[in-house]
Chains A and B, each alone.
Chain A
Amino acid sequence: MSKTIKATADDIWKNKVEKINSELFTLTYGSVVAQLCRDFHNDYVQVNAQLERMGFNIGIRLIEDFLARTGLGRCQSFKETAEVVSKIGFKIFLNVVPLVTNWSGDGKQFSLVLEENPLAEFVELPQDDKASRALWYSNVLVGVLKGALQMVQLEVDVAFVKDVLRGDDATEIRLKLIKVLRDEVPAGED
């Protein structure tokens, strides 16, 4: 079953993705965050928001690249979405496969637990308490997920709930399906 997903993702990762040096990637992202912290005078709430906005703009384009590479159509259930996001999405763009877990009873909320986070390698948050309480260092991922899913008509609420950088035991992103947006229909059709 999930073999097919994994095999597809591996194949795409091996043959259809241009790779860049992961340290270069990590350091580039790090300097973006550091620059934002300077720009917003360490107002981490604003930094989070800005990272999310940047991610959103990435997400709405990344989804097209994702679909073009994978040839997938729309998912039929949120469970399927979760599998595709973690096993194919994260795999082909970041080469990690977060664990899909903590499903809520109604099947509308789940968590992605990242064992490794390529964005946060070598990173230490500033020593002040403020940063470790307020800053979600990898918040760009939240925006990417929101943007990408919104383009396939899924309105989701995404947020970090844990980050190893803050001293938590894991890095966890929580996704909550708010609603499935309806496709627009031509005037006079509804």
Chain B
Amino acid sequence: MTIYSFWMFDRHCNCIYTREWTRSSPLVPSHSSHSSVSSTSSATTLPAGAIGTVNASNQNDSAKLLFGALFSLRNIANKLGTLPFNEDTSVTDPLAIHRKNSLKSFATGKYRAHFMETALGLYFCILSDPNVADLQIVLKDLYADVYVNHVVKNSASDVDFPAEEVIGNESFVRGVDQLITALPAFA
């Protein structure tokens, strides 16, 4: 089992963070070394000893296709399963907001995409081997521990990213790596 990569999209539909742990990720074609000039300029340096790339694919087609797939599947899920909203029940059961039918993952022959969306419209997505079981808890931790602590509570960092800006902050990169590489599924 393997975890290939981690992707974040903000509410303006821009890809704000990518982390690929291996170059053989299914989404990255082998000729990607010459993919686009702009992507290499925005790439963030890795902590010593880490493998793979950070923020190297934010602007390429893979990111756009992945976003499009997640966006459409999420819309389908919302449409299919969400009960018609009833004004009375919402007040009696205010914490059942998760009654919404939300997209959690989808799989293809070679990989699985694990997905979580926050109320602010941030998308978190991990691409892994299809045998990796549910990673919802990991996605929640990435949001609640890593993103909130290293980006939101970091006054030097933006929370609303201008187009083409990415999260390059080292403590965030380290935090994500620590969390993911410690998973049994990462091996």
Write the residues of chain A forming the contact surface with B, with a CB cutoff of 8 angstroms.
1-2, 4-5, 8, 60-61, 63-65, 67-69, 71-77, 79-80, 83-84, 151-153, 183-187, 189
Contacts and interface: CB of A to CB of B under 8 A. Distances in A.
Interface string B123-157: 00000000000000000100111011000110000
A187 B98 CA distance: 28
B95 A4 contact: yes
Contact of A80 (B94, B98, B152, B159): B94
B119 A72 contact: yes
Interface residues of B, number: 31
Contacts of B93: 1, 4
A120 to B, nearest CB: 26
A50 to B, nearest CB: 18
Nearest to B121: A183
B119 A152 contact: yes
Contacts of A187: 13
B100 interface: yes
A65 B118 CA distance: 12
Contacts of A60: 159-160
Contacts of A68: 143-145, 148
B164 to A, nearest CB: 14
Interface stretch (B33-41, B83-91, B105-113): B83-91
Contacts of A63: 120
B95 A5 contact: yes
B67 interface: yes
Contacts of A64: 118, 120, 147-148, 152, 159
B95 A8 contact: yes
B11 interface: yes
Contacts of A75: 90, 94, 97
Contact of B90 (A65, A72, A79): A79
A152 B94 contact: no
